[in-house]
Amino acid sequence: MASSMLSGAENLALMRAITPKAKGLCFSRSDLHGNYFPRVNLSTSSRIDRTRVAIPKCSLSASRPASQPRFIQHKKEAFWFYRFLSIVYDHVINPGHWTEDMRDDALEPADLNDRNLVVVDVGGGTGFTTLGIVKHVDAKNVTILDQSPHQLAKAKQKEPLKECKIIEGDAEDLPFPTDYADRYVSAGSIEYWPDPQRGIKEAYRVIKSGGKACLIGPVYPTFWLSRFFADVWMLFPKEEEYIEWFEKAGFTDVQLKRIGPKWYRGVRRHGLIMGCSVTGVKPASGDSPLQLGPKEEDVAKPVNPFKFFLRFILGAMAATYYVLVPIYMWLKDQIVPQGKPI
């Protein structure tokens, strides 16, 4: 298994060549159930590296530029996608891709260490991640924001979230004042943002000085078929892209922690819908130093319905592949003896 994840010293050298800023590539500690997923510090933070390791292949694969929208990496398409997916979301997505263990592990770097923290959960959907947040923070201090009223309707039904504020909004244009929250959390939403850098710049703006953003998202596959379906469906960023977006937005102490379902045994070649948790600290109050041009997508602009439908169907078909991958990995985990590569 480890061999499928770690590709040797040459990858580390290549990684350094690709990302000259990645001074602190390290495991800062062991991770998920003590096994395979390290927290990787790809940042310019001053943390001391304890162990130097190679970066997995998935971080090095070529992908289309993040600015090029995939079929569902578009707000209108994501809206319709969740119009239908919201009906079964908690029953289909969570068991295969985003379990309670993974959620708790991914939220750990967010330092939700005080019940009075003000937290925004952006792209909060049906509130699955929010349920993890309200274990540590009073629900009345938590706001769930999502562009899908259908997803939010599910969140509203959950008893532990009754006191949360639940609002519709866009991750790339948050309706919160500058320096508003202590923590920004977003899980599994970045893959639908047409302009991820803008969303991360917004994360920076809305948190207070010293506050932390925690963004949980997919990682890019290396296996050719998985890569094909990932690219057709939505944005699967590479690890170094997350780091770059955070640093460009102005965050410091940027850390990346790898996560994944237990039964994947650390395999990342098919990519993961929830593959890493990236955190950064806001060093000073005010807006992000990053200047951006106009938004990538104008949602008010009329669309060609035929083209829209075709993109939507192709994107949804590609998404189906990612419903099957965890089932395949789960079966492999059952069949292949523990300790052997899968």
Ligand X SMILES: C[S@@+](CC[C@H](N)C(=O)[O-])C[C@H]1O[C@@H](n2cnc3c(N)ncnc32)[C@H](O)[C@@H]1O
| Residues at the interface with ligand X (CB under 6 A) | 75, 78, 82, 98, 123-126, 128-129, 146-148, 151, 170-172, 187-189, 192-193
* Nearest distance, CB of residue 132 and ligand X, angstroms: 8
Q: Which is nearer to ligand X, 98 or 220 (CB)?
A: 98
* Nearest distance, CB of residue 95 and ligand X, angstroms: 12
Contacts of 95 (CB under 8 A, 6+ apart): none
**Cβ(268)–Cβ(88) below 8 Å:** no
Give the separation between CA 274 and CA 95, rounded to whole angstroms: 12
* DSSP H stretches of helix in the chain: 2-5, 9-18, 75-97, 100-107, 128-133, 149-156, 196-206, 224-233, 239-249, 305-335
Contacts of 321 (CB under 8 A, 6+ apart): 225, 226, 229, 233
Q: What is the residue type of 182?
A: D
* Nearest distance, CB of residue 101 and ligand X, angstroms: 14
* Nearest distance, CB of residue 148 and ligand X, angstroms: 3
* Nearest distance, CB of residue 333 and ligand X, angstroms: 23
Q: Which residue has the tokens 């319905």?
A: 305
Q: Which is nearer to ligand X, 256 or 274 (CB)?
A: 274
Residue sitting closest to ligand X (CB):
125
Q: Which is nearer to ligand X, 303 or 331 (CB)?
A: 303
CA torsion angle for 116, 181, 281, 174 (degrees, to 10)? 150
Q: Which is nearer to ligand X, 7 or 148 (CB)?
A: 148
Q: Which is nearer to ligand X, 24 or 237 (CB)?
A: 237
